[in-house]
Amino acid sequence: MFHKEGHKIIFISLTILVASLLAIDHFITLEWLRKGLMLLLLGFFILILQFFRNPKRIGQSNLDNVLSPVDGKVVVIEEVFEKEYFKEKRLQVSIFMSPINVHVTRYPVSGKVVFSKYHPGKFLVAWHPKASEENERTTVVVENQSFGKVLHRQIAGALAKRIVNYAKENDTIIQGSDSGFIKFGSRVDVFLPLDSKITVTLNQKVKGGVSIIAEK
């Protein structure tokens, strides 16, 4: 199953792939070169399919748990001062996605969307210290019965050229459902109350909509 954000790109890529394979087969006479170019193009197309895959996830919805919003690796767990919305200290958990990870962003908690904002910006590498403040990004805050307000922020990386955010203020959303999509490499930060119990460790691999990253 592929995410709707990839349908157009997959169709265009498939068209280019077929045309290129036919051209290679017609014009390239060297057997090793012809096969090599065909395998290279097929490999590139498979990478595109993998990037836009959208596996169904059956997570255990629970008001007392915060689920990982994305697939990837935990790269930050620390207490920070969140400047944009809370303007106070929060626990930050950051998850880095490589180009081969599923790039669907899912809501970490159920509740009501009370804030949703897009910020244009740079495309620094996702692990850059200033990426959270200077890169293209979206900020979404969901008010949850157990945790209060939970913020998750999609941050573009060096390869990401488009962030898609479905969150609209006053929407009532379900934990684990689609919140958006980031095209080609990025990271997501989650900001939690200071009394949250973090259940992941640095460098741990997590799955969006399935892995529990914090408990009440």
Question: Contact 61/110 with Cβ under 8 angstroms?
Answer: yes
Topology of the domain comprising 65-215: Glucose Permease (Domain IIA) (2.70.70)
| Residue 175 CB neighbours (<10 A) | 21
pLDDT score for 185: 62
Read out DSSP for 16-73? Answer: HHHHHHHHHHHH---HHHHHHHHHHHHHHHHHHHHHTB---------TTEEE-SSSEE
* Both structure tokens of 172: 């009532």
DSSP one-letter code for 64: T
Distances in Å between the Cα of 110 and the Cα atoms of 33, 60, 185, 198 are 53, 12, 26, 18
Question: pLDDT tens across 69-124, in order?
Answer: 999 999 999 999 999 999 999 999 999 988 778 888 999 999 999 999 998 876 66
Catalytic residue among 94, 186, 196, 211: 186
First to last CA, the chain: 33
- The answer to whether 160 touches 120, Cβ cutoff 8 Å, is no
Query: pLDDT band at 4, cuts 50/70/90?
Result: confident
- The string over 70-89, giving b where at least 16 C-beta atoms fall within 10 Å of a residue's C-beta and e elsewhere, is bbbbbbbbeeeebebbeeee
pLDDT digits (tens, 9 = 90+) for 42-65: 888 887 777 777 777 765 678 899
Q: What percent of the chain has pLDDT over 90?
A: 51
Distances (CA, A) of 106 to 14, 39, 43, 176, 200: 28, 34, 28, 5, 18
| Residue found under tokens 């955010």 | 165
Residue 151, pLDDT score = 98
- Does the structure show a pLDDT above 70 at 159? no
Residue ranges per structural domain of the chain:
4-51, 65-215
- Name the 3-class secondary structure at 175: coil
The predicted-structure confidence for 113-152, as pLDDT tens digits, reads as follows: 999 999 887 666 655 556 566 678 899 999 999 999 999 9
pLDDT at site 106: 94
Paired strand residues for 198: 214
Entry pTM: 0.81
Among 21-35, 119-133, 145-159, 186-200, the minimum mean pLDDT is found in 119-133
Sign of CA dihedral 61, 62, 68, 74: negative
186 as an active site residue: the answer is yes
